[in-house]
Structure 1
């Protein structure tokens, strides 16, 4: 007995742009910074500034620990 199953599976990225995204423009960076400041999200602003200044990718940024950017009580 031979059973043939066909599934109409469609890829999740069909018709979408994939690959490296365009970098932020300067006005976009400042818009994000201003919105984070107005919302008083100090932690998010610090992470955003760190990512922009060090050119880290999101996967690298989420792996950071406090001990990676501090030396004793001094924050780098």
Structure 2
């Protein structure tokens, strides 16, 4: 049971790392200063679906990571 939870925690941590690294930056940086922002209908709706899915995956995997950590401490 302990080794299964450890493997599950490693997989969950990899999912967290990948989902966080795939999320786009929230700031525009210098491109927002120089060129302005291009807020079109398609740009707004495209970011909502992909970013929302990645945010959901990150939140769910973080909750699973915390639960697995608690289970690992009780199984010891």
Give TM-score, length-normalised by structure 1.
0.28
Greater per-residue strand proportion: 1
Give TM-score, length-normalised by structure 2.
0.28
Greater per-residue helix proportion: 2
- Higher Rg of the two aligned structures: 1
- Structure with bigger RCO (C-alpha 8 Å, 6+ apart): 2
